Amino acid sequence: MISRTEICIVGAGLSGLSLASRLLAEGRDVTVFEGRDRAGGRVLSERGYDLGPAWIWPHNRRMLALADQLGLGLFPQHAQGRLVFEAADGAIRRDLEFATMGGALRIEGGLARVTDALAKDLGDRLCLGQPVRRVTEDADGVTLTCDTAECRADRVVLALPPRLIGGLGIAVPDAPTWMAGHAKLVAIYPTAFWRDDGLNGDAISHQGPLAEIHDACLAEGGEGALFGFAHPGATAHPQFRQAALAQLERLFGPGAATPRDVIVKDWSADPATATQADRTPPTSHPAYRAIAPTARLIFAGTEASADDGGFLEGALAAAEAAYMRLGQPVA
């Protein structure tokens, strides 16, 4: 454990990683403490399938520039064909020529390729499996208390959701952690059979347990995949998987009943992302605000960005704002 550093960043999600990589490239003395055994935070891909965020939009200039800088390919979210709509009374329509995410872009091989590349640049300046338990600011610096050691830093950037910052003994205004109350189920099939039936893979359901479903096929084709966002709390039901597969069969036909594989990630049950309060997600996108810095503490993380807060783009915008602040002397 490094015991003295100029700048300490807490959290190796997209925000903390992008800030750290920019500072390190300038030769600054920076250390990143990450609580999980992996970098990426809410960005998580398994075998190329995104279990957290998947989409970048054409107006996300920072994300597009980062993908370009890292040499990563983009491909469009599949949008050709009809959407399936399941009403609360169980009636199903398959005649709607509409794609809910038309125009969105995905990263070839999954979004974790972005965070993996940034993390690799950090080398031993990235300390994984080091949850920070307490942050204490005084006139000369900041003390970070981990499980087995303490670290002193001149300045600290807290690049994690405000609701988790509260747990470090730092008071910040409450803000819901975007998407933290949700779970994602990915069902992988030998082929994308729904495309052959003229369906685009989108479904909106008022029956559940999946509320919203999308095509999740990889760029290179081959096997097919659908993913669904589960209603909050749905994964706690012992029959969740069976119910989700029965729903996919109702919506997309018999081929959907027997996937080759199913992956589930419930973010609401992951304490490195969600708190109890996040189990009741906001009903619309919150208006996120920048969090005012103190003399030595700076707040990054997407929920601290007024620009695109909650999104990947907001994570980069917050990192950019933190970088500017670090360019100013300690107040």
Residue choice 33, 85, 189, 227 for contact with ligand FAD (CB under 6 A): 33
Q: How far is the CB of 95 from ligand FAD (least distance, A)?
A: 27
Is residue 14 within the footprint of ligand FAD (CB under 6 A)? yes
153 part of the interface to ligand FAD, by CB under 6 A: no
Long-range contacts of 303-309 (CB under 8 A, 24+ apart): 303/161, 303/162, 303/175, 303/176, 303/177, 303/178, 304/162, 308/60, 309/178
288 makes contact with ligand FAD (CB under 6 A): no
By the rule CB under 6 A, 231 interacts with ligand FAD: no
Q: Which is nearer to ligand FAD, 255 or 298 (CB)?
A: 298
Answer for which of 49, 178, 189, 194 binds ligand FAD (CB under 6 A) is 178
Of 74-82, 194-202, 252-260, 309-317, which segment contacts ligand FAD by CB under 6 A? 309-317
The footprint of ligand FAD on this chain (CB under 6 A) covers a number of residues equal to 39
Does position 67 interact with ligand FAD (CB under 6 A)? The reply is no
Q: Which of 19, 54, 192, 210 binds ligand FAD (CB under 6 A)?
A: 54
| Binding status of residue 227 toward ligand FAD by CB under 6 A | no
Helical ranges in 174-311 per DSSP H: 193-196, 240-252
**What DSSP designation does 181 have?**
T
CA distances from 21 to 1, 9, 126, 151 (A): 19, 11, 10, 20
| CB closer to ligand FAD, 181 vs 255 | 181
Amino acid letter for position 176: P
Neighbours of 143 (CB within 10 A): 15
- Choosing from 13, 48, 162, 224, the residue that interacts with ligand FAD (CB under 6 A) is 13
In DSSP terms, which residues pair with 33 in a beta bridge? 10, 127
Residue 202 in the binding site for ligand FAD (CB under 6 A): no
Please state the separation of Cα 24 from the chain's center in Å.
23
Q: Of 7, 8, 9, 10, which lies in the binding site for ligand FAD, with binding defined by CB under 6 A?
A: 10
**Which residue's CB is nearer to ligand FAD, number 252 or number 299?**
299
Least Å from the CB of residue 192 to ligand FAD: 20
Of 155, 173, 160, 163, nearest to 325 (Cα)?
A: 155
What are the DSSP calls for 77-111, one per residue?
A: PP--SEEEEE-TTS-EEEEE---TTTT-EEETT-T
Token pair for 172: 């910040």
Our finding on whether 78 is near ligand FAD (CB under 6 A) is no
Binding of residue 66 to ligand FAD (CB under 6 A): no
252 binds ligand FAD, rule: CB under 6 A: no
Residue 321 binding ligand FAD, by CB under 6 A:
no
**Measured between alpha carbons, how far is 161 from 78 in angstroms, rounded to an integer?**
31
**Of the residues 35, 110, 141, 209, which one makes contact with ligand FAD according to CB under 6 A:** 35
Instruction: Give the tokens for residue 141.
Output: 């610096």
- Coil/strand/helix, residue 233: coil
Instruction: Mention every residue, 6+ apart, whose C-beta is less than 8 A from residue 245.
Output: 187, 256, 257, 258, 259, 262
- Min dist CB 37 to ligand FAD, Å, is 10
Figure out which of the listed residues 21, 31, 273, 275 binds ligand FAD, where binding follows CB under 6 A: 273
- Looking up tokens 């096929």 gives 217
Q: Which residues bind ligand FAD (CB under 6 A)?
A: 10-16, 33-36, 41-43, 52-55, 131-132, 159-161, 164, 178-179, 182, 184, 267, 272-273, 301-302, 310-315
